[in-house]
Structure formats: structure tokens, C-alpha cells
Amino acid sequence: MSQLVLEKLRQRFGTAILETHAHFGDDTAVVDAGMWRTVGQFLCDDPDLDFDMPIDLCGVDYPERVPRMEVVLHLYSIAKAHRVRLKTRVGDADMAGAELDSLVSIWPGLDWLEREVFDMSGVRFRGHPDLRRILMYPEFEGHPLQRTYPADKTQPLVAYRSEAEAGTPLEKLEPFGPDEGMPFGRGGLPRVAEDI
């Protein structure tokens, strides 16, 4: 497909489009976080673009970068049958300033997706009608898909039974060894068998 979408974006917004690429036909534009809503409105309203369907919204954490959190929006136009991927970057090392304008008033389908990004990645959406957690419970602290969230940290809602109360060891019973589970959590990758 031609790069119609990216060209129009570059013409219309100039420096607010930080970078673009079209790898294997996947048109991607990285936009300035302050222009997030304006660009979204343009993509929705422009008759040549006519993006009427938000496919997905997610957050990707790059802890070594500033700003660290990338928010990725995939859009599709049913009438024109074309797609675009829109990215923006927010938040410093402590996730301060990780705020974006909500796009729910443009695409109502983004309601739960923005809640998910808030829940998992900790990006706050200004103007969202009901920004609460959607996957995790309200008592949960932190945002689990931030890379700084400890991989083995759990936040149980009910107190675990103690071994004295249970009268039996609660550490993994035979035949579940202590080395079962995810390899990074329990020290080292499993040894590859030599005998193929």
C-alpha cells in the first residue's frame, strides 16, 4: 500500500510527527504526546483516511529510555481497508508525567483498552469517563507490566494459610519440585538434554 496515511500526517502536522516508518507495509507514525488527541481526531475525521475502528491499544515499557513508556494504538479503516500504527512516548524514569489525552470521545471502543493500559502500564488518560483498573483488583498496588515491577511479587487478596494451620508443608509438594515454574524466577535455565 502506498504511504498515503503517513504522507498526509507529515503534511498536516510537520514536526509533531517525530518519526515514521513503513516496515513490510506496516505504516507507523510516532507522534508528539501533546498532539495525541489532535492527530487522533484528524485520522478519524479526514475523509481520505476515515479510521473508524480502533484495533488495539497497549503500553510498552522501555526503562532505559526517556520518555520510557510507549503507547501504541492500532487503527483500521473499514471503508478504505487500510491500517496505521500510532505511537507516542510519555513518562520519565519514575513514570511522572505519564499522561495522555483520552481518545474515548473519538472512538468509544477505546474505553476498556485505555483502562487496561492504565491498569497494566500506569499511563493516565485525561478525560477518560471512568479510569479504574480493569484486570487487576482495586487493592493492587503498582502496575505489573512496568519493567520495574518485581517479577515474583504477588499481592494476595486473602491471607495465605500458614504451614502450622495447614499441618502440612505448603511449599510445592512432590512431584512438584522447587525448580518448577518459570526459569528466571527460580535460578537458571533448565539444562538441555544431550541425548537428542
Partner 1 sequence: MGDVNRSLALQGSEQGYATTRLDALLGWARKYSLFSYPFITACCGMEFMALTSPRFDVSRFGAEVPRFSPRQSDLLWVVGTISQRQGPVLKRIYEQMMAPKWVFAFGTCAATGGFYDNYTTVPGIDKIIPVDVYIPGCPPRPEAVLDGLMLLQDKIQRGERRPGVVKPRIDPAQQVSELVRLRRSAGDPRALLPALREEKRS
Binding site for partner 1 (CB under 8 A): 136-137, 144, 149, 151-158, 160-161, 166, 168, 170, 172-176, 180-182, 185-186, 196
Least CB distance from residue 122 to partner 1, whole Å?
A: 14
Q: What are φ and ψ of residue 137, in 5° steps?
A: -85, 160
- Nearer to partner 1 by Cβ, of 65 and 172: the residue is 172
Q: Are strands 53-61 and 69-77 parallel, antiparallel or unpaired?
A: antiparallel
- Nearer to partner 1 by Cβ, of 81 and 173: the residue is 173
Q: How far apart are CA 97 and CA 124, in angstroms?
A: 9
Residue 164 Cα distances to 152, 155, 158, 173, angstroms: 24, 21, 17, 16
- Nearer to partner 1 by Cβ, of 97 and 142: the residue is 142
| C-alpha cell belonging to residue 136 | 487487576
Least CB distance from residue 165 to partner 1, whole Å?
A: 9
Least CB distance from residue 135 to partner 1, whole Å?
A: 8
Least CB distance from residue 57 to partner 1, whole Å?
A: 20
- Nearer to partner 1 by Cβ, of 6 and 136: the residue is 136
